[in-house]
Amino acid sequence: MSRKSEKPFWDPDELKAQLQTAVLGKRLIVFNRITSTNDFLKRLARRGAEAGTLVLADQQTAGRGRLGRQWQSPPNVGLWLSFLVRPELPLELIGALPLTIAVVVAESLSAICGEIFSVKWPNDILWRQRKICGILCEAQIAPMENSPQQNYIVTGIGINVNQQTNDFSPEWRTRAVSLAMLAERPFDRQKVFVELVQRLDENLFENLREYIPLLLSRWRSFCPELGKRIRLHYLRENVTGVFEDIGAAGELILRMSDGQRRIFSAGEVSIAK
């Protein structure tokens, strides 16, 4: 929670006044500093918070990424936010949600800076092979017949907005990029936030079930690795094959050299040498 003596870095009321959303951000919580917006929102979700609740922080002290990694979230330069979805979707479609969110974020970033972004399965967003945004979806899903009101998906989005190369840790300097670096000008984080939230609201809260196949086909058009030979690192195993397609639940379908197909729901993709 932001300390009482500190003014919030953004005024939540001012931000809310700029949002014309139906669901997302109706409840908006802003922190100067927090451990992780995902961790905070998961606690709220378990206590019954409403779908669309949105948490934004200027800095995270324990930001988390996929596959147990850390996510660097320094103050003044990024957008670190999480939002709550309580999807009334069949289980087999819930896996597609992280990919659909990546499409919406990639399209928002293009609208903001005029550049084209790509996605790396399942939901990294890259500019010329450098990561600009990471997405972490964490879900508690019970079968529809067992108290679906307790279901939640907390989606955390981290966008590098105004960092310069030296703001990234040495291991990330050649692999990460910010909007400011690619456009060679700083961005107003408030404007980036409003554009993003507006688009997420339009795409994810109504008719999602009908939208998912459409969003998945848009995802395919953003993914340069599709149809190529890739290496998938999964559970200490490296598997090589042709990235044939994604399934209806966003799974990665790999065609092995012996012609067999293998289907993965997690892992890290790289281009095979």
Whether 225 and 243 have beta carbons less than 8 Å apart is answered as yes
Q: How far apart are the first and last CA of the chain?
A: 47
Minimal CB distance to ligand BTN: which residue?
A: 134
Distance set, CA 232 to CA 67, 99, 205, 238 (Å): 13, 17, 32, 6
Nearest alpha-carbon partner for 24 in 80, 79, 85: 85
Q: Of 131-139, 172-180, 219-227, 249-257, which part binds ligand BTN (CB under 6 A)?
A: 131-139
Least distance (Å) between residue 90 CB and ligand BTN: 25
Whether 59 and 81 have beta carbons less than 8 Å apart is answered as no
Span 68-97, contacts to ligand BTN by CB under 6 A: 69, 71, 73, 80-82
Distance set, CA 61 to CA 110, 129, 158, 186, 250 (Å): 29, 27, 13, 24, 31
Identified binder of ligand BTN from the candidate list 84, 119, 136, 196, rule CB under 6 A:
136
Identified binder of ligand BTN from the candidate list 58, 107, 124, 251, rule CB under 6 A:
124
Any contact of residue 63 with ligand BTN (CB under 6 A)? Answer: yes
Q: Of 35-43, 91-99, 164-172, 192-200, which part binds ligand BTN (CB under 6 A)?
A: 35-43
Identified binder of ligand BTN from the candidate list 9, 25, 29, 37, rule CB under 6 A:
37
Q: Which position has the token pair 């479609």?
A: 93
Identified binder of ligand BTN from the candidate list 66, 86, 120, 189, rule CB under 6 A:
66
